[in-house]
Amino acid sequence: MSKRGTGRGGTHKPAERDVLPAGVEVTDSELFFNRELSWLAFNDRVLQLAESADEPLLERLKFISIYARNLDEFFMIRVARLHEQARGGVARLVPDGASPGTTLDKLHEGIFEQSKRHADCFEQVLRPALAEKGLRILSVKELDAEQRAQVDQRFREQIFPVLTPLAIGLGRHFPYISNLSLSLAVLLRDPVAEEESVARVKVPKELLPRFVPLKGNIFVPLEDIIAHHLKDLFPGMEVLGWSLFRVTRDADFTVSEDAEDLLKAVETELRQRRFGDVIRLEVQAGMQPKLLEPLVEALGLEPRQVYEERGLLDLADVMSIVGTPGFPELRDPPWTPVTQARLRPDSESPDGGGTVMAAMRRGDLLVHHPYESFATSVERFVAEAVEDPDVLALKQTVYRTSDSSPLVPALIRATENGKQAVCMVELKARFDERTNIRWANALEEAGVHVVYGIPSLKTHAKAILIVRREGERVRHYVHIGTGNYNPKTARLYTDLGLFTTDPDIGADVADVFNFLTGFGRPKSFRKILVAPLTMREGLLEEIRRTVAAHTPERPSRIVMKMNAMVDPGIIRALYDASRVGVRVDLNVRGICCLRPGVPGVSEHIRVVSDLGRFLEHSRIYLFERGTEVRCLIGSADLMPRNLDHRVEILAPIEDPSLLAQVKDLVDRCLADNTHAWELLHTGQWKRRTPPPGGERRWAQGELMERATRMVQVQSGRPLP
């Protein structure tokens, strides 16, 4: 597997340590939180939602699954990198100063504590509570005679034929154990030879349901059925004991910057990913030493890589139970995204009745998903362009999409209709590489111009450019978003999308596509900020201008909403702003390395994290300087990778009415006191609660109500 690289695509390389604020003597460990431990605190907030009695039962089960899936990805990428650094002798991590080894030890301690809560929440709270409501997850031992007969038949007909028991030891090669696979370790005794041995049986959950459904909304874990029938798998042997285990492998890789064929290089790395080092071994609590010791020895693991789990392993799979039909009382009320008012076909709507591009010609549009529909905005925008005889070209970036996305097939239809179609497919989008390779091949076969980007950079920008002939000239129609062009996640993630015909933004986006498809490197842009070329310095300049404009009589304010706040240079600039009295409000869903509340450094900085029904995903950067307000939205979080090693776009919101919508959005998120946490200077996140007798605020609920109300008001009549 190729070694991880840092990339050479940016024009700015941040210093390892910038100058401390004047007159303040604090160490880095006092200025910055550890990135990995901050992520662990984020996943703890997800776990708290699973533990919250205020959430419906199946929503709590959903968060049990999300917590487990998040942790898997964290081990495959971040923990794997820490182990690599520890083996390589890296002594210090910038900027907080902790070594990889120290961080790994703290992670092991924190994950061990969280795992106990995770298991207890599922086994002791949710499992019995769901059973009371008629949705039961049972072991074979808990079934009645009729149900056991069903399980026995299912085992004989569907499960047994796909099982392959593999012996361990006795001169046999230790079997390959695939990433995230669930297995039974079985201790056997041969009564003839009077010898003990160990075997491994993989649980084939890729082929069969992990939770086998029976009549009456009963689910039985697949591994429990296999364990109940171990004698059928090992005839003539005595089964002395068994236990479950699961391995997690290093799934991170970096494609060489010198790769001549990026597609082949990514395909090669995907094949090698299967054989990444084992990073974690999960075992059932109480696993016999005769089973555990051979596993640990064969896999070459340290004690801090072994995790004992109480109850079921791999609870990410309970998401399949969340989707069980029925049980509306155990779920959030259904939400159907509304069509943005100016895109509704109502004749009574001021802007209704035309195409998306017609609405754009009347002024910029801002769509907020999932409150407003992705299908009737972004998908409709592309579909109309495909059929419009005056459209000359369509260009689109693809970072993450779905197999069912209509956007990429639309580019194929555009080519068939004689238009130029260009698709920038990011092959290196982690865990979506195979999907993107399939789309890239299909697009190329249809005649679409497919570009894979720059090996040293990931193209994370979300942009669509449509070129339309109008009389003697052409006009650019642009969509710039904060989220992926993925119809599935557009119903689950909160994201903003700007539709504009602004000629400067259109020319800028055209330059970005030329940068991606050719060899040009623009030195400047008219209105947008582009990483790795102008974004870092552009954001720092906005902060400096906000600091310069601040006075006690006319105070300035900085508001930022993002997924992660990690970059040391940006953090230090925000400390500078706080030192002169600028109020800084940060809405950070996940990682935050900035430490608020440090005397003389960050007393005017507040950090709030919102989690809830939808995944907060929009990135908004707002700078208030008296009567001047500068607002940017786009794809970039404030991390070194986004600012220096990815192609990202931030675009300005200039229309006063749209700007008011964005300010309303961020203020609601900052005011949330039911699904929000505030970061303390100690590093702890304190969950907010409504004050006694005070107003209860839930940003996502308010935004659903606002979306419905705005459509009703602007269309002149209530929704059906």
pLDDT-based confidence at residue 457 (cuts at 50, 70, 90): confident
pLDDT score, position 24: 46
Half-sphere exposure of 619 (CA within 13 A, CB side): 27
Q: What is the pLDDT of residues 344-356, one digit of tens each?
A: 876 444 544 589 9
pLDDT score, position 248: 96
Strand partners for 623: 558, 630
CA separation for the pair 642, 527 (Å, rounded): 19
Query: Residue 197: enclosing H or E segment and its boundaries?
Result: strand 195-202
Buried b or exposed e, range 654-671, using 16+ CB within 10 angstroms: bbeebbebbbebbebbbe
Q: 619, 634 in Cβ contact below 8 A?
A: yes
Whose structure tokens read 């159907």? 336
Among candidates 709, 719, 708, which has minimal Cα distance to 335? 708
Q: 179, 76 in Cβ contact below 8 A?
A: yes
Buried b or exposed e, range 678-707, using 16+ CB within 10 angstroms: bbeeeeebebbeeeeeeeebbbbbbbbebb
DSSP notation for 22-54: TT----HHHHB--HHHHHHHHHHHHHHHHH-TT
pLDDT score, position 720: 45
Strand partners for 634: 619, 650
Angle between helix axes 100-120 and 80-87 (nearest 10 degrees) is 150
Among candidates 593, 613, 589, 615, which has minimal Cα distance to 605? 593
All domains of the chain, ordered by start, with CATH? 32-330 (3.30.1840.10), 341-517 (3.30.870.10), 529-689 (3.30.870.10)
pLDDT-based confidence at residue 448 (cuts at 50, 70, 90): confident
The pLDDT of residue 434 is above 90: no
The pLDDT of residue 555 is above 90: yes
Q: 397, 426 in Cβ contact below 8 A?
A: yes
Tokens found for residue 593 = 């390395």
Among candidates 474, 633, 514, which has minimal Cα distance to 562? 633
Q: 233, 165 in Cβ contact below 8 A?
A: yes
Q: 630, 612 in Cβ contact below 8 A?
A: no
- Calculate the dihedral angle through the C-alpha atoms of 708, 712, 715, 719, rounding to the nearest 10 degrees: 80
Min mean pLDDT across 463-467, 605-609, 715-719 is at: 715-719
Given 83, 108, 369, 460, which residue is catalytic? 460
Buried b or exposed e, range 150-183, using 16+ CB within 10 angstroms: ebeebbeeebeeebeebbbeeeeeeeebebbbbb
pLDDT score, position 94: 63
CA separation for the pair 713, 690 (Å, rounded): 30
- Tell me which long-range contacts 442-448 makes (C-beta under 8 A, separation of at least 24): 442/408, 442/412, 443/408, 443/411, 443/412, 446/411, 446/412, 446/415, 446/416, 447/412, 447/415, 447/416, 447/421, 448/411, 448/412, 448/414, 448/415, 448/421, 448/422, 448/423
Q: What is the pLDDT of residues 625-657, one digit of tens each?
A: 999 999 999 999 999 999 999 999 999 999 999
Q: What is the pLDDT of residues 475-510, one digit of tens each?
A: 999 999 999 999 999 999 999 999 999 999 999 999
Q: Is 108 a catalytic residue?
A: no
CA separation for the pair 55, 57 (Å, rounded): 6
Q: Amino acid letter at 105?
A: D
Q: What is the pLDDT of residues 243-274, one digit of tens each?
A: 999 999 998 766 555 555 556 666 666 566 66
Min mean pLDDT across 22-31, 60-69, 664-673 is at: 22-31
For the purposes of burial, counting CB atoms within 10 Å of the CB of 277, is it exposed (0-12), middle (13-18) or buried (19 or more)?
middle
How far does the chain reach from its first CA to its final CA, in angstroms?
A: 56
Question: What average pLDDT score do residues 699-705 get?
Answer: 97
For the purposes of burial, counting CB atoms within 10 Å of the CB of 104, is it exposed (0-12), middle (13-18) or buried (19 or more)?
buried
pLDDT score, position 579: 96
pLDDT score, position 271: 62
Among candidates 280, 268, 146, which has minimal Cα distance to 214? 146
Q: Helix, strand or coil for residue 578?
A: helix
Can you give 149-189 as a three-state secondary structure string?
Answer: HHHHHHHHHHHHHHCCCEEEECCECCCCCCCCCEEEEEEEE
CA separation for the pair 415, 421 (Å, rounded): 6
Proportion of the chain above pLDDT 70, given as a percent: 89
Question: What average pLDDT score do residues 588-617 get?
Answer: 96
If one compares 372 and 172, the residue with the highest pLDDT of the two is: 372
User: What does the longest C-alpha to C-alpha distance in the chain come to?
Assistant: 92
CA separation for the pair 82, 108 (Å, rounded): 12
CA separation for the pair 716, 573 (Å, rounded): 47
Q: Amino acid letter at 619?
A: R
The chain-wide mean pLDDT, for the chain, equals: 89
Question: What average pLDDT score do residues 433-437 get?
Answer: 74
pLDDT-based confidence at residue 714 (cuts at 50, 70, 90): low
If one compares 715 and 476, the residue with the highest pLDDT of the two is: 476
Tokens found for residue 13 = 């390389």
Question: What average pLDDT score do residues 654-672 get?
Answer: 97
pLDDT score, position 429: 62
Q: How many residues does the chain have?
A: 720
Q: What is the pLDDT of residues 55-100, one digit of tens each?
A: 999 999 999 999 999 999 999 999 999 998 888 887 766 677 788 9
User: To 5 degrees, how large is the angle CA 615–CA 621–CA 627?
Assistant: 135
Q: What is the pLDDT of residues 364-423, one digit of tens each?
A: 999 999 999 999 999 999 999 999 999 999 999 987 777 777 888 898 899 999 999 999
Question: What average pLDDT score do residues 161-177 get?
Answer: 82
pLDDT score, position 268: 65
Which residues contact residue 422 at a Cβ distance below 8 angstroms, ignoring those fewer than 6 apart? 393, 394, 395, 396, 448, 449, 451, 513, 517
pLDDT score, position 176: 86
The pLDDT of residue 586 is above 70: yes
CA separation for the pair 197, 195 (Å, rounded): 7
Among candidates 366, 374, 364, which has minimal Cα distance to 338? 374
pLDDT-based confidence at residue 20 (cuts at 50, 70, 90): very low
Q: Amino acid letter at 239?
A: V
The pLDDT of residue 17 is above 80: no
